[in-house]
């Protein structure tokens, strides 16, 4: 069994339009590398200098990985990893 | 062009007024593929700021799960500017990550009148678009057989 990775609209250009892809790995970092190996360009949109981009949210099931170890957050078979761009902005 | 019901415009402006002087933010979801804003979803500004807005990350997850389950997309993403014009800031442009959404900006700087404007923001490029306010989508020109806008 593998992990299902849910891809947001803006990144589906990297997955041939697919809304979700399968991946294997024990951590969020390994999952991203595995997806990158088949859908190149995705990683650069998510990770910068070994950290998640401030305005990209990644969840394992219902948990924001920012509060669960970031890229080192653990992932188990059958989990769902959801990627969502932050909805944010401001006057300045 | 953004075509939007008057009651939804009123709801956005009312939310912006209520949260002033903080920036207000939210979504109007609509059925995928229709470009028709229908379901008003005010969101909490997790930044609670007069110069910045951000959806709370867990609220964001819940919102997208709910929209997915209902075959909806965020047709409109709105937020308010409390002291400046209703035009996307550099930060708004940099952080805009929904290429199919209409980004609606409301300015509450004038207590009497609200500015209500809509934009597409794709790859850092802002394009303002016309806003057509309608009473109901039922009688509005939405079909492909309709006459083109003049």
Predicted local distance difference test score (pLDDT) of residue B143: 53
Closest alpha carbon to A85 in B121, B22, B131: B121
The domain spans of chain B are 2-134
A89 and B64 in contact by Cβ < 8 A? no
Predicted local distance difference test score (pLDDT) of residue A92: 61
B-contacting residues in A 3-42 (Cβ below 8 Å): 8-10
User: CA of A32 to nearest chain B CA: how many angstroms apart?
Assistant: 19
When pLDDT is averaged across residues B73-93 and rounded to a whole number, the result is: 95
Predicted local distance difference test score (pLDDT) of residue B144: 52
Q: Is B11 helix (H, G, I), strand (E, B) or coil?
A: helix
Greatest CA separation for chain A: 46
Domain count, chain A: 1
* Domain contains A30: yes
Give strand ranges (E) for chain B. 2-5, 25-31, 39-43, 52-54, 72-81, 102-107, 115-122, 125-129, 131-134
Chain B interface, mutation test: which of A8, A59, A70, A87, most B Cβ atoms within 10 Å?
A87
pLDDT tens per residue across span A1-42? 699 999 999 999 999 999 999 999 999 999 999 999 999 999
Residue of B nearest to A59 (CA): B61
From chain A, the residues in CB contact with B51 under 8 A are 90-92
* Domain contains A33: yes
The chain B residues in contact with chain A (CB within 8 A) are 23, 25, 27, 43, 47, 49-55, 57-58, 60-61, 64, 73, 77, 79, 81-84, 88-92, 95-100
pLDDT tens per residue across span A52-65? 999 999 999 999 99
Predicted local distance difference test score (pLDDT) of residue A90: 81
- CATH topology for B2-134? Cytidine Deaminase; domain 2 (3.40.140)
From chain A, the residues in CB contact with B99 under 8 A are 9-10
Q: β-pairing, A88-90 with B52-54?
A: antiparallel
Q: Which CATH number characterizes residue A46's domain?
A: 3.10.20.30
Residue of B nearest to A55 (CA): B95
**Residue B46 to residue B49: CA distance in whole angstroms:** 8
ipTM of model: 0.91
Predicted local distance difference test score (pLDDT) of residue B99: 93
Contact B128, B119 (CB under 8 A): yes
Predicted local distance difference test score (pLDDT) of residue B139: 66
From chain A, the residues in CB contact with B25 under 8 A are 87
pLDDT tens per residue across span B14-67? 999 999 999 999 999 999 999 999 999 999 999 999 999 999 999 999 999 999
* Domain contains A91: no
Question: Cβ of A84 under 8 Å from any chain B Cβ?
Answer: yes
State the residue range of the domain holding A10: 3-85
């Amino acid at each position: 069994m593998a992990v299902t990775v849910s891809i947001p609209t803006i990144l589906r250009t990297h997955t041939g339009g697919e809304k979700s892809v399968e991946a294997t790995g024990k951590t969020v970092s390994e999952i991203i590398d595995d997806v990158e190996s088949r859908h190149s360009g995705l990683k650069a949109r998510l990770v910068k200098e070994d950290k998640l981009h401030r305005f990209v949210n990644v969840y394992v099931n219902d948990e924001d990985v920012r509060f669960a170890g970031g890229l080192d957050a653990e992932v188990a078979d059958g989990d769902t990893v959801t990627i969502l761009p932050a909805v944010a902005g401001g006057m300045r | 062009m953004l075509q939007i019901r008057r009651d939804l415009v009123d709801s956005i402006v009312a939310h912006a007024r209520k949260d002033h002087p903080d920036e207000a933010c939210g979504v109007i979801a609509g059925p995928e593929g229709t470009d028709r804003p229908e379901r008003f979803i005010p969101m909490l500004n997790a930044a609670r700021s007069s110069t910045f807005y951000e959806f709370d990350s867990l609220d964001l997850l819940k919102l997208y799960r709910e929209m997915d389950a209902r075959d909806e997309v965020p047709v409109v993403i709105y937020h308010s500017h409390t002291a400046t014009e209703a035009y996307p800031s550099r930060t708004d442009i940099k952080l805009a990550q929904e290429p199919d959404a209409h980004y609606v900006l409301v300015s509450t700087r004038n207590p009497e009148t609200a500015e209500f404007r809509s934009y597409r923001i794709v790859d850092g490029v802002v394009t303002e678009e016309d806003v057509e306010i309608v009473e109901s989508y039922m009688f509005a020109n939405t079909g492909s057989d309709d006459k083109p806008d003049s």
